[in-house]
Amino acid sequence: MKSSSGGRIFYGWYIVAIAFLCQFMATGVGFYIFNAFLKPLSEQRGWTRTEINAAPLIGQVVGIASTLMWGTLVMRVGPRILMVIGPILSGIAFACLGQAQHLWNFYLFFVLLFFGNGAMGGIIANTAVNNWFIRKRGQALGLAATGVSISGAVIPYLAMVIIERVDLNYAFIWIGAMIMMVAPAAWFVVRNRPEPYGLSPDGIPAPADPPAGGVALNATSLLGPSLGYPAAGVAAKEGVPWTLSMAVRNPDFWKIGLAYALSMMGVLGVMFQLAPRFEDIGFDKRLAMAMMSATALIGALGKYMWGALCDRFEPRRVIAVLMAANAAGLGIGLIPHSPPALVLFILIFGFAMGGVVSTRPILIAFLFGREAYASVARFLAVMAPLQAGGYLIMGQSFDRTGSYDTGFGVFIALNLVAAAVILSTPKPRI
């Protein structure tokens, strides 16, 4: 492994590539793919959209325990082994979903799917990247997070083709096998941290000898001067893991959790069934899927761009603008359905919603510090039930009114509240 200063690609970017793959698969099969499966499941099993939307809600609520568990384990054993275990568990669970003929076992396998996804995506993938970057953290996390959106452009369309060529049950099995292929890639590429291999975060060489005071400078100290604000955030003691009691006493913890939960309600609720929404307003299945894929693809650009903006400007203000833009995009989605309005919706909502996923780890590291990231992020899982409520809001909106418009209106208001909450979070202090 060579440092970027030696003219070769810094190994951390290979970690970003595997994190991208894990985020791509975890989000694709646990979320976006149901744009292809929602209507066939409803038609063949006789389940309502609210009943199907309850599956990811239950998965996320029960997944709180798994997030706390994986978040604790990643601090002890590192992300590598977990990014191998996760795809195996998820692949088995997804294959079993196709054999579920009753809601109770469909929900059970969905819980197992979320359990496995938690070991390869989310906090685990972000920790793998976070361990290798400081100055370029925003870019690196943003690039890894583009896997989330690109999965939305690829996996649902691929699933639709597979469903058309084989029956619904076999489609689950084929895709389950694809998920498990991520495991060997993670094992051969991922390394937990750069320091054991003679590297430093970002590929910046560490000083050979400590300064006169006896304390060696580390790459974290470079973050403050390059951006104009302190590197360690409120975590005055980098390297001291945050406990649950420490986190719950910190108001910033609750503000981050609340703001992102409110904003994620709209992202999850809308993107889980965006293709069915386009079908409901009159577009054929393939065009509806193409429009959903375009929205997700624009989101991939948004993930990177919002992350890069957080490297250049104060993350709090960037994220507040992001959430306001998310509300604006949803508002355009309520305009009577004309081609110009739909194009604007895809561009604005897609670009904004992409940043919601990629900026949360950036803000956590900004406020609490690099070493405290995994400790703080795992406890934010307590907000999962709130953000998962977006599924039920959309399901109920359709089942009660025959339209998703009411759900869109609720999400507009929630995003505006989220922007205000983010702005109320104080600047980091040492």
Contacts for 176 with CB less than 8 Å, ≥ 6 apart:
90, 91, 92, 93, 94, 95, 96
State whether the Cα torsion 149-151-155-157 is positive or negative.
positive
Q: What average pLDDT does the chain have?
A: 81
pLDDT band at 7 (very low <50, low <70, confident <90, very high): low
pLDDT tens column, 223-275: 233 333 333 344 434 445 566 677 677 788 888 889 999 999 999 889 888 88
Of 158, 183, 184, the C-alpha closest to 171 is 158
Name the token pair of 407.
């759900």
Q: What is the mean pLDDT of residues 41-58?
A: 86
pLDDT, average across residues 343-359: 89
Neighbours of 420 (CB within 10 A): 13
**Region 75-85: what's the mean pLDDT?**
91
Q: What is the pLDDT of residue 410?
A: 93
pLDDT of residue 6: 53
DSSP conformation class of 231: S
Exposed (0-12), middle (13-18) or buried (19+): which is 377, by Cβ within 10 Å?
buried
Residue 107 phi, psi (nearest 5): -65, -40
Among 199, 426, 214, CA closest to 314: 426
Categorise residue 198: left if φ over 0, alpha if ψ from -120 to 50, beta otherwise. Answer: left
Average pLDDT of 137-147? 83
CA distances from 286 to 11, 40, 156, 161, 294 (A): 40, 14, 11, 10, 12
Q: What pLDDT shows up at residue 230?
A: 34
CA dist., res. 121 & res. 358, Å (int): 12
Domain-wise residue ranges, the chain: 4-204+229-423
Q: Which residue has the higher pLDDT, 239 or 403?
A: 403
CA dist 180 and 207 (Å) reads: 41
CATH class of 4-204+229-423: mainly alpha
Within a 10 A sphere around the Cβ of 216, how many other Cβ atoms? 12
Question: Average pLDDT in the 142-163 region?
Answer: 86
Across the range 322-329, mean pLDDT stands at 93
Q: How many C-beta atoms lie closer than 10 Å to residue 24's C-beta?
A: 25
Q: What is the DSSP letter of 10?
A: -
Determine which of 123-132, 215-224, 325-334, 403-412 has the lowest per-residue pLDDT on average.
215-224
Q: Is residue 3's pLDDT more than 60?
A: no
- Flag whether pLDDT at 213 surpasses 70: no
pLDDT for residue 67: 75
Q: Which two tokens stand for residue 223?
A: 């973050």
For the chain, give the longest Cα–Cα distance: 73
- 3-state class (DSSP) for residue 193: coil
pLDDT of residue 427: 64
Highest mean pLDDT among 17-31, 216-230, 294-308, 364-378: 17-31
10 pLDDT more than 60: yes
Predicted TM-score (pTM) of the model is 0.71
